[in-house]
Structure 1
Amino acid sequence: MLDPLPDPITRTTAHWPAEARLKFTDIRALILEAGARADIGPLTESLKWGQPAWRPDRPRKGSTLRLNWSDKLPRTLALFVDCKTTLAAEIFAAYPDDFQYESNRAMRMQLNAPLPKDAIAYLAHATFTYHQNT
């Protein structure tokens, strides 16, 4: 029998609440658009640690950006960057009120709040060009 959800990201997000899936769709579009604008070549979209993730295909261009919903914090979505980078600090400096920051790796958003579109686009661009700029 054919899998009705062949895409692993669709299979993963299919278990999320409707509100999280809708926000995911909007965030995914912002991330892909930022990747295209970054002029770093194609992005790989995959699962990392069971979470939707994006990374430039070409080596030494940028870092990985992940997004997740969790039933432990069901009213939020979180974007994750590599904790060995300065990305979280850079985003906090530019957009201190747009996310709930967790350590040096996570930026959390409330599902019932408007998306911080400029902050997400900035984060995606900074992540995908990280090694070009360091």
Structure 2
Amino acid sequence: MATKDALPAEVAKAFAAMPDGIADILRKARLDILRIASTAEGIGPLTETLKRGEPAYLTNAPKTGTTLRLGLIGGRAAVMVPCSTTILEDARAVFGELPEFSGKRGVILGGEQQVFDYIVNAALSYHMRKRR
């Protein structure tokens, strides 16, 4: 289970290998993901691991959410979701086309917090929402 204090060693190494400015942005995003997971109804604890060498966050409860990854898109800090989901398409329907959206996969960090929070909530509850 991921908590603010318990950063898995392999994830800590991934953050340490990133440029300082990028790592700082992604560490803040990590804390935001953990905060949202701990306060959103039905999400529960997360597993924090690496996917494709990048920090990744998965819901522990089955059929709850989909994976979030933190990494780089075009050299900029980003949060990424599986491109097979409709998360970014749904976000575009809510927020319109924003410059921080990157295709079907990610959102460049540094834009509006509301967009980031929406993406994280949508990812962590993706399968629950599809069942409704």
Alignment TM-score, normalising by the size of structure 2: 0.82
Tell me the residue number matched to 2:120.
Answer: 124
Highest RCO, 1 vs 2 (Cα 8 Å, sep ≥ 6): 1
Deviations 1:6-41 (A, max 9, x none): 711110111111111111121111111111122311
SS at match of 1:133: helix
Contact kept in structure 2, 1:83 and 1:104, CA below 8 Å = yes
Asked whether 1:101 is paired with 2:101, we answer yes
**For residues 34 and 67 of structure 1, what CA distance do their matches in structure 2 show?**
15
Structure 2: stretches of 5+ with no match in the other structure: 1-6
Q: Which residue identity lines up with residue 126 of structure 1 in the other structure?
A: A
SS at match of 1:69: strand
Question: Percent sequence identity over matched residues?
Answer: 29
**For residues 108 and 95 of structure 2, what CA distance do their matches in structure 1 show?**
12
Deviates more, 1:92-101 or 1:122-131: 92-101
Deviation at 1:64, TM superposition (A): 0.5
Q: 1:6 to 1:94 in 2, by over 3 A?
A: closer
Deviation at 1:98, TM superposition (A): 5.1
**Structure richer in helix, relative to its length:** 2
Deviations 1:97-125 (A, max 9, x none): 6553222112223xxxx452221111111
Tell me the residue number matched to 2:4.
Answer: none
SS at match of 1:12: helix
Contact kept in structure 1, 2:8 and 2:48, CA below 8 Å = no
Q: 1:29 to 1:22 in 2, by over 3 A?
A: same
Contact kept in structure 1, 2:107 and 2:116, CA below 8 Å = no
Deviations 1:55-110 (A, max 9, x none): 1101100111111036xx33x1121111111101112222346553222112223x
Tell me the residue number matched to 2:91.
Answer: 91
Alignment TM-score, normalising by the size of structure 1: 0.81
Asked whether 1:46 is paired with 2:56, we answer no
Q: Which residue identity lines up with residue 119 of structure 1 in the other structure?
A: V
Please say which structure displays the higher CA radius of gyration.
1
Q: Which residue identity lines up with residue 17 of structure 1 in the other structure?
A: P
